[in-house]
Amino acid sequence: MSLEDDLNKIRDSLRGFDYAGCTRHIAQALEAMGYAKPAPLAWDANSNRRYEPVESRAKEIYDAFEYDGPAGTSKPKWAEGGNGLKQDEARFLARAELRQAGHQPSYAAS
């Protein structure tokens, strides 16, 4: 059986349920079928937008950026977990600072 077949089997068993509320159930069913849980993201992975030391430093860096948008507009506020170019640039700089300082994560980031 393929992953797609297994997912269809799970979906069939959930007919009549609210799919938005079933994410945890689907994950548990996949684990029970032997599918491994994905490894947590490394603290310095580009797609990790949840690691607090990076996020807090990135927000400081973002706030210090000079706004280069159209006249008469203001810089957007930092959006938690946001994926704008400037926010990602700030995260990149924050990760580089932390790496250079020899940062060791105090917990596994998820």
Instruction: Give 79-86 contacts, CB < 8 A, sequence gap 24+.
Output: 80/55, 81/49, 81/50, 82/49, 83/49, 86/62
Question: What are the sequence ranges of the domains in the chain?
Answer: 3-32, 40-110
At residue 53 the predicted structure's pLDDT band, cuts being 50, 70 and 90, is very high
Tell me what pLDDT residue 3 has: 78
At residue 20 the predicted structure's pLDDT band, cuts being 50, 70 and 90, is low
At residue 29 the predicted structure's pLDDT band, cuts being 50, 70 and 90, is confident
At residue 109 the predicted structure's pLDDT band, cuts being 50, 70 and 90, is very low
> What are 57-100's pLDDT values in tens digits?
999 999 999 998 888 899 999 999 888 999 999 999 999 999 99
